[in-house]
């Protein structure tokens, strides 16, 4: 018994796929036996630890029973969808009228470079800001 | 073994009985307790829906494990998992203190380190190797049951198990 088991042979001993000779060697050789035992012990500790961990978790979190989804819940869900669709149908015309052609035209004008320049020049020529112009029309002319 | 068909008579009892095993396998596979809880619910819900298809050619435990294995597989393949895998980078899968208070803190620390090493080593395995390893060494399923749970042949299970053990030993050797 001069040669120890190889890594593969030790792995085969652990998973129960070793030959009789290899198993006998593992039983009789202290070093190879220790290798097999070390792994087996580590795995057993892992198993115990995981079992305890889950046991603690299950004690903390109550059991969730499996049941069919309630028909009331499904009906409610449907009613919510129907109500949402109705609201959208009612609100949609108002939203569409908000988007008047004039607005879209203004946007299209502003994309033209010449129109933008004209608009800038017009703004610079104003004596008062555009929103105040209607008010200025109502005032008496103070210039001599 | 109890007649499998009778086990479905009281489904709540079945859930209570098998929940620890299913949850344990899912948690060890995914390393995320919230996700494991969620998939455990899916597992029992799927089992409930398809209970009429259960032919009794395997145990209920094996059947539930097959559903759990499929859920893990689907989850691993999903894009959502890929996303989380990128940003999550770590898991909350850390083992807590060794619960046995009769041993010293040093021993407890040593045990905890060994347990963590095994668990960390499972991360380096392929999904299939990890599944086979966990079913064998965590859930104590035999080769035939693992084959039924995973849909692999028994020979294939043996090959994956051998490679998994060899990989974990290599990893453990490197970490010590």
Query: pLDDT of A29-66, one tens digit each?
Result: 999 999 999 999 999 999 999 999 999 888 887 665 55
Higher pLDDT, A118 or B46: B46
Stretch(es) of chain B classified as CATH 1.10.1740.10: 1-91
CB of B66 closer than 8 Å to CB of B151? yes
pLDDT digits (tens, 9 = 90+) for B135-158: 999 999 999 999 999 999 999 999
pLDDT digits (tens, 9 = 90+) for A10-25: 999 999 999 999 999 9
The structural domains of chain A, with segments of one domain joined by +, span 7-60, 71-126
**How many beta carbons lie within 10 A of that of residue A15, not counting itself?**
18
Q: Which residues of A touch B93 (CB under 8 A)?
A: none
Residue in A7, A41, A57 nearest the CB of B33: A57
Q: Which residues of A touch B120 (CB under 8 A)?
A: none
In which region does residue B56 sit, left (phi positive, over 0), alpha (psi from -120 to 50) or beta (all else)?
left
CB contact under 8 A, A49 and B117: no
- Mean pLDDT estimate for chain B: 84
CB contact under 8 A, B162 and A63: no
Residue in A7, A45, A61 nearest the CB of B169: A7
Stretch(es) of chain B classified as CATH 1.10.10.10: 100-176
Chain B nearest C-alpha distance from A16 (Å): 9
Q: Which of B91, B115, B121, B157 to mutate to test the interface with A (most CBs of A within 10 A)?
A: B115
B100-176: CATH, from 1.10.357.10, 1.10.10.10, 3.30.1490.100, 2.40.50.140: 1.10.10.10
Instruction: Supply the pLDDT for residue A143.
Output: 56
Instruction: Supply the pLDDT for residue A78.
Output: 77
- Residues of chain B with pLDDT > 90: what percent? 52
Structure tokens at A114: 């010449």
Cα B135–Cα B141–Cα B144 angle in degrees, nearest 5:
110
CB contact under 8 A, A15 and B48: no
CB of B43 closer than 8 Å to CB of B67? yes
CB of A136 closer than 8 Å to CB of A128? yes
B1-91: CATH, from 2.40.50.140, 1.10.1740.10, 3.40.50.720, 2.40.128.260: 1.10.1740.10
Higher pLDDT, B129 or A92: B129
């Amino acid at each position: 018994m001069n040669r120890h088991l190889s890594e593969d042979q030790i792995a085969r001993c652990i998973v129960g796929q070793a030959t009789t000779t290899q198993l006998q060697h593992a039983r009789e050789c202290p070093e190879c036996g220790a290798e097999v035992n070390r792994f087996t012990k580590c795995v057993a500790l892992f198993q115990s630890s995981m079992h305890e961990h889950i046991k603690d978790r299950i004690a903390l979190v109550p059991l969730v029973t499996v049941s069919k989804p309630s028909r009331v819940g499904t009906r409610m869900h449907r009613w919510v969808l129907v109500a949402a669709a109705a609201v959208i149908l009612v609100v949609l015309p108002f939203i569409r009228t908000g988007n008047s052609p004039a607005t879209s035209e203004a946007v299209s004008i502003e994309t033209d470079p010449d129109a933008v320049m004209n608009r800038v020049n017009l703004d610079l020529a104003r004596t008062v800001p555009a929103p105040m112009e209607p008010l200025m029309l109502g005032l008496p002319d103070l210039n001599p | 073994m109890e007649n499998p068909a009778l086990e479905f008579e009281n489904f709540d009892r079945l859930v209570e009985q098998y929940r620890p095993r299913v949850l344990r396998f899912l948690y060890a596979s995914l390393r995320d307790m919230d996700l494991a809880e969620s998939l455990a619910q899916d597992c029992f819900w799927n089992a409930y829906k398809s209970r009429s298809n259960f032919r009794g050619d395997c145990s209920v435990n094996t059947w539930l494990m097959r559903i759990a294995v499929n859920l893990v597989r689907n989850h691993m393949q999903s894009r959502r998992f890929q996303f989380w895998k990128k940003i999550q980078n770590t898991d909350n899968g850390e083992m807590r203190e060794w619960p046995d208070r009769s041993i010293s803190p040093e021993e407890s620390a040593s045990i905890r380190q060994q347990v963590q090493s095994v668990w960390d080593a499972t991360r380096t395995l392929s999904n299939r190797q990890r599944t086979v390893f966990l079913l064998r060494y965590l859930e104590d399923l035999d080769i035939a049951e693992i084959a039924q749970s995973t849909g692999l042949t028994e020979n294939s299970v043996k090959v994956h198990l051998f490679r998994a053990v060899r990989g974990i030993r290599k990893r453990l050797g490197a970490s010590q």
